[in-house]
Chains A and B, each alone.
Chain A
């Protein structure tokens, strides 16, 4: 796997948003006092009349965004994932999801890799909350390039979207011109022994794991499942019909996340051994991002172990 550089996914959002601003005058952006953290400065500087600083008032921001759609604007809200979901769930539910408003909820600093700020800010339940909402599309891009592509793609999608990205600098591996289609998984590796389905930063961790597994003679098929909802069911079923077992990997609670979504598909259509690399019913804590992934069972070695376990459960 060729590494194209190292950047944070939030910067991919910032670049994508600024380009969108130039391409579509209906795109507006709202931020709750985290413009720098969300990398929204470029948009703010270029389009000050379409940038709305709302202060530390996330509920107001979400409902404002819903109201702005009436008249044709496409609002992008920006704050941390915790304040983008848990804090404003009812506002999203009533005014965006139920009312089918064309708002893009853009959430940075998701998961453990937020790091030192600790558990109050490390939301691990947001994918679950958002994928439970009818009408909501949930996108979790893997790297800088894909986050930029996703940011631009969701503007063209008519309806509510939750876009989840993060804080740490991570390797870039998605080609800048790679096709990005909401709901269509990206095949990173083809293989025959095991399917790994991952999203967000865990796609890179899975690439690292695949390297170790390949050296052990295990053939890995890796799907970058950047859209959690709608889930690319056929990509999952096509893959497991070949490999016969699966590992899901996500920077999220096992409850409610990508793994559960995949399990639902498998239990209905193709029951097979399934191992979950996810946080197990626990809050996070302060620490360095990669140390936290290791401590909470989301490290490269955890994926390797899960793969071997899944393969071992095959008859």
Chain B
């Protein structure tokens, strides 16, 4: 997919996000908007996957795990837009009996989701488990995972980081949504992560940095990263993003982490996001 096509998808995904969250007056628009470009890239231009016949076991398919499950709106939109389930189902987000739970789950059998997430810090371990199984099965597919930067305050992340390097797990690319913000404020104010690049390197990972809103840079980084797989080291991408990217009044603050826009704010957001593929 070329850059213009990717932008069209991610713009529509952003419209979906603000409409979904606004319609139930709950959910997490900030991080969702910030990761719209990356998830669009993964599902439309990077991963080998079959959206038409969902296979929990993902045989010969790349697998993506969302560890920071609260940004479910962006994942649901990208999954629907890439064909996992009807786009119209996005209207059920967070409503009773919906398959689109507030945080991703498997128990209602929503195609595209292989593990519940929401309680933070667990997704890297899960992703490494599937990476180990891929190796045992001689399946050369790639495991991708996404984590919030605030989520790195969870200790289990570092257990997993240690494990991956010690065991030479080299079929995984973990990405950090490095927006510097969390619910209570800036990450630096809540509990500083220090020098993340050095931390991950010290834990034995190959670290890359990337602009999460520049499709040229994303493509270039992932081309490089894919060539580094299979060399005995796990790979981490520090992805610089802006929480609320694409909606001016949501950017530059942590305040839209978990707050839904009202009707007026929704209209203002939609005015900034062209309807490219048709609203759900």
Contacts and interface: CB of A to CB of B under 8 A. Distances in A.
B171 to A, nearest CB: 12
B137 A67 contact: no
A28 B163 CA distance: 17
Contact of B163 (A60, A69, A72): A60
Interface in A53-89: 54-55, 57, 59-60, 62-73, 75
A70 B129 CA distance: 8
Contacts, number: 111
A65 B107 contact: no
Contacts of B115: 66-67, 70, 95, 99, 101
A70 B56 contact: yes
Interface string B75-110: 000000000000000000000000000000111000
B56 A94 contact: no
A305 interface: no
Interface stretch (B117-125, B187-195, B219-227): B117-125
A71 B107 contact: no
A90 B118 CA distance: 11
A52 B163 CA distance: 10
A98 B159 contact: no
Contact of A63 (B57, B129, B139, B167): B129
B237 interface: no
B116 A95 contact: yes
B229 interface: no
B59 interface: yes
Interface in B146-171: 155-156, 159-160, 162-163, 166-167
Given A54-B163, A59-B159, A66 B119 contact: no
Nearest to B123: A63
B134 interface: yes
A98 B108 CA distance: 10
A50 interface: yes
Given A90-B119, A91-B125, A98-B105, 20 more contacts: A52-B167, A59-B122, A59-B159, A63-B123, A63-B129, A63-B160, A64-B160, A64-B163, A66-B126, A67-B125, A68-B132, A68-B133, A70-B129, A70-B130, A71-B136, A91-B156, A94-B119, A100-B106, A100-B107, A101-B115
Interface of A: 28, 49-50, 52, 54-55, 57, 59-60, 62-73, 75, 90-91, 93-95, 98-101
